[in-house]
Amino acid sequence: MRTILSAFHRVPVDEELQLYFDRFLADRGAQLTNAKLRALADTLAERLADRPLECEHELASRRRRLWVEHEQGTGMAYLTAYLPGDQAIMAKTRIDLMAETLDDSPLPAEQQRTLDQKRLDVFADVLIGRGLESEVRPSINVYVPLLNLAGCPDELRPATIDGQVPISPARARQLVGTCTSLTRLFTDPVDAAILGVGRRQYAPTADMKRFVLARDETCARPGCTRPGDDCDLDHRIDWALGGETDVANLNPKCPGDHVMKHETRWKVTPGPRGEDIWTSPGGRRYWDHTADPPDPPVPTTWSPAPFDVHPGTGSAFCPEQNDGGTAESPA
């Protein structure tokens, strides 16, 4: 209930919209974890909100602050920060990674710290300036629908940090373009599948593998019918030569053909329509001719006689009679 209420305040004061918000989440909330429910509630609230997330973020960022609350009688205190979500996740990720490197095993059992205690000690050491033996740089995922990067916000799927914290399109573009510690995951505007990670990651994602195997079905070598599920995903332009990890630069190759491409005198180059062109050591070239576009069909009733443009419509018609009427040219 607290998770739903935290997003409810952004829904306009409209009985119909508020009832829709409540029923939509009630129907789905029982099957979701708290984190997934929070992400769904935030996304739905963003779709129904009077003001876009970018405006809400701008207003909220003016209230960012840091404060301390002392706990009476314990000598302890709460240090709380109100800051942009992406910065909070980056900071928490860095603390987690540094805490996991701390090894208390040489200490007596009663002196060994829990992971939460290690996190707090790292947090304090970093802020106070005490040195740490290990230093790490965090890496988080910014999920950005392609339409957002193109300046056309996708209201159904806002950009998010780790799929949970919605961020404005402007902030997403800024992070993608300038922050070197982020892995850029470009998603399909229709089903949100990850289609490319550029040069940030060598291994294809599960979404990319499903897309490529559904598209190509079999090994990409001409004549090979090995099912895609038995193949490796290969970078058409080698990763070592600057090739990117995205669906346009990936295709399946069975283990034998994968080895033949990289370890023999055969040369494989990308063709103009997504096919690979295989050149043998003797210079013969082979490619998959199914990539060639078929010739357009010509209707048997259409005459190639000179035609005019129909006044006012722009459609072409043959001035000669054919089977009792005029025949339009093929589209």
User: DSSP 3-state helix, strand, coil percentages of the chain (rounded to 5)?
Assistant: 40, 20, 45
51-64 pLDDT, tens digit per residue, is: 677 777 788 889 99
Output the pLDDT for position 264.
93
Q: What is the pLDDT of residues 201-240, one digit of tens each?
A: 788 888 888 888 877 878 988 878 788 888 999 999 998 8
- In degrees and rounded to multiples of 5, residue 253 shows phi and psi of -135, 130
**Nearest to residue 7, comparing CAs of 131, 166, 196?**
166
The helix-helix angle for 15-29 and 34-48 (nearest 10°) equals 160
Mean pLDDT over 154-177 rounds to: 71
The domain spans of the chain are: 2-50, 64-70+77-192, 205-294, 298-331
The angle at the Cα of 251, spanning 250 to 254, to the nearest 5 degrees, equals: 135
